[in-house]
Structure 1
Amino acid sequence: MNPPILFGHRGARGHAQENTIESFELALRLGATGLETDAWRTRDGVVVLDHDGEVGSRLRRRSISDVDAKDLPSHIPSLAELCRMLGSAHLSIDIKDPLAFSEVCSTLEEEGCSPEKIWLCHPDLEIVSSWRPQTRANLVHSTRYSKIAPQFESHAATLSSRGITAFNMPASEWSGGLIALYHRFSILCFAWNVQYTEAAKPLVSAGVDALYGDYVDRLVDVLHTD
């Protein structure tokens, strides 16, 4: 993709409380062309956005899956709320609870989100592969170099054959050679944990297709500096 998608990680996490409507709104104002978040399903079947999937005090932690949506802290938004403010931006969702997948897809469809701008992510290749028949959205295998090495060509071929759109790794683990390899199989290359402009420039030059970072202003700077 040229230019690459600029995903605000959990919104504008470097400037505001993560995974809140305020953080998502700020990320878009700063120039993000995509938003990243984490999805869980409540006990009553509502998809909500939170990284850890637990609420309550340290001594009384509860899984979001054991709590009704109305009883969650007020800062935790629903996926539907995020969809309504998304506009033309891309949306990358880490589906932390695979059991939430059906509700995620239903919510996205009900809110009229464009499948081509939705990126559904999971670290387990078998799980993300199982989603292909059930959605027209883009699917992303998110993992680390050590989980794939040295079988990168085989991995790229597998992603292609299973209809997986993109491979997401930490920015520090990508190289120009790996990007070229995955592109040869028509797999997009996404880089997460991009926190500094200087670290991102070589990735953009090598053709990376998306950047995820806490500081959206720094991501934007990558595209506007020589």
Structure 2
Amino acid sequence: MPKLINFAHRGAAGHRPENTMASFTYALELGATGIETDVQMTKDGHLVLIHDETLKRTAGTPEWVKDLTLDEIRTRDAGAWYHEDFKGEKIPTLEELLELTQGTDTVVNLELKNGAVLYPEIERKLIETVRKYKMSEQVVISSFNHYSLFECKKIAPEIRTGILYGEGLYEPWAYAKTVKADALHAFHMAVRPEFVSAAAAAGIVYHPFTVNDKELMSKMIEAGVAGIITDYPDRLNELLNAERK
């Protein structure tokens, strides 16, 4: 049976300021075998890792990512909102995360934030960057914008994709085939053992989000999911280690 992927959601977001290098590196220290992050694009076409379209929540300024150059965005503080110990943390670039994980077994889940703001050519730019680092086999691209995912598959059929969705999608494994996706990144309430089995029979795997409770993690493991996205990779690591004993 393949080893379940322990995806650290925005890094170790339960312990460090989300989507920072401090969060990513700590996630790996805690036993994460995958890192999930969010990709947006600056005014001058650089890919940066931040969840929201604006900097208000995590950098204390109402500016939009799309309106700032990379040089401007790198002057903003992405750590102080979480705790003063992390004051000075920067909003990272995609390249920084790929450099951290290149040459390792870490699976990198890149969520394209291409909904509220439709970034032109973001799919092509992301794929070019992944290919530059020769990490196509190490990456999974996910998005709530399934048009974007279909475009990614057209450009790079070798890179895995995962559709993000909430509850109520009928036979999502069948739908995934229509957009040529490889995985279902479902809200955890939309995951049932019989769904996981049906998806597996169709060659589709489940990576549910965002699972922080240990009891719920155990249910997901029992259901047969291939990966779990969590803010607490240490909790999931403890469960997986206990199962191996």
TM-score of the superposed pair, with normalisation by structure 1 = 0.90
Judged with a 3 Å threshold, the aligned counterparts in structure 2 of structure 1 residues 12 and 59 are, in CA distance, closer, same or farther, namely: closer
Q: Give 4+ residue runs of structure 1 displaced > 4 Å after superposition.
A: 56-60
1: CA distance, partners of 2:228 / 2:46:
29
Judged with a 3 Å threshold, the aligned counterparts in structure 2 of structure 1 residues 132 and 17 are, in CA distance, closer, same or farther, namely: same
Residues 149 and 179 of structure 2 are in contact (CA less than 8 Å); yes or no, is this contact kept in structure 1? Answer: no
Q: Following TM superposition, by how much is the alpha carbon of 1:171 offset from its aligned partner in structure 2, in angstroms?
A: 1.8
What residue ranges of structure 1 are gaps of 5+ in the alignment? none
- Other-structure match for 1:63: 64
2: CA distance, partners of 1:215 / 1:133:
34
Q: Following TM superposition, by how much is the alpha carbon of 1:173 offset from its aligned partner in structure 2, in angstroms?
A: 2.4
CA deviation digits over 1:71-123, x for unaligned, max 9? 1125100000110001321000110035322211111122232x122111111
1:142 counterpart = 2:157: no
1:90 counterpart = 2:107: yes
- Other-structure match for 1:108: 130
Judged with a 3 Å threshold, the aligned counterparts in structure 2 of structure 1 residues 59 and 213 are, in CA distance, closer, same or farther, namely: closer
Q: What does residue range 55-204 of structure 1 map to in structure 2 within 5 Å?
A: 55=55, 61-72=62-73, 73=76, 75-86=90-101, 87-97=104-114, 99=119, 100-113=122-135, 115-135=136-156, 136-146=158-168, 148=169, 151-152=170-171, 155-204=172-221
Secondary structure at the aligned position of 2:225 is classed as coil
Q: Following TM superposition, by how much is the alpha carbon of 1:60 offset from its aligned partner in structure 2, in angstroms?
A: 5.8
Cα RMSD of the aligned pairs, angstroms, is 1.9
1: CA distance, partners of 2:183 / 2:226:
9
Higher strand share: 1
Judged with a 3 Å threshold, the aligned counterparts in structure 2 of structure 1 residues 59 and 175 are, in CA distance, closer, same or farther, namely: closer
Secondary structure at the aligned position of 2:208 is classed as strand
2: CA distance, partners of 1:32 / 1:59:
29
TM-score of the superposed pair, with normalisation by structure 2 = 0.84
Corresponding pairs, count = 220
